[in-house]
Amino acid sequence: MNKTAPIASIAIAVVLLLIAMNSYITVKAGHNKVASLFGDVRAEPYDEGFHIVNPLLAFNIFDLRQLTYTWDKVQVPSQDKLKTSMDVSVTFRLDGVRTPRIFQETG
């Protein structure tokens, strides 16, 4: 019996297992994923749920929920040339359809 046959079959089984493990994604609620293949960004994002995908794709996750960024004690000059401190908050939410374009333009 050939000694390399069991090693080759084990190697093939491992490769097939790795491909099977990378052939699906799940997207959490309130998120979506943008796929890219060798730097080429796909036009359609993957929405919430389970998806069968090409195992060579790379994915970037975008949070579509409402987010708030806050800056505390920002120093701003007032009209009478005195410095005043204030808190600034920005609330925003990404549009899920536009996430591939956002990823292409901003990274």
Distances (CA, A) of 46 to 9, 59, 76, 79: 35, 9, 42, 49
pTM over 0.85: no
Give yes or no for a contact between 76 and 84, defined as CB atoms under 8 angstroms apart. Answer: yes
pLDDT score at 6? 82
User: How far is residue 98's CA from residue 76's CA, in Å, rounded to a whole number?
Assistant: 34
Whose tokens are 């493990």? That residue is 21
What DSSP designation does 63 have? E
Residue 63 C-alpha from the chain's centroid: 8
pLDDT of residue 46: 95
* Averaged pLDDT, groups of 10, the chain, 107 residues long: 77 88 91 94 94 93 95 90 91 94 91
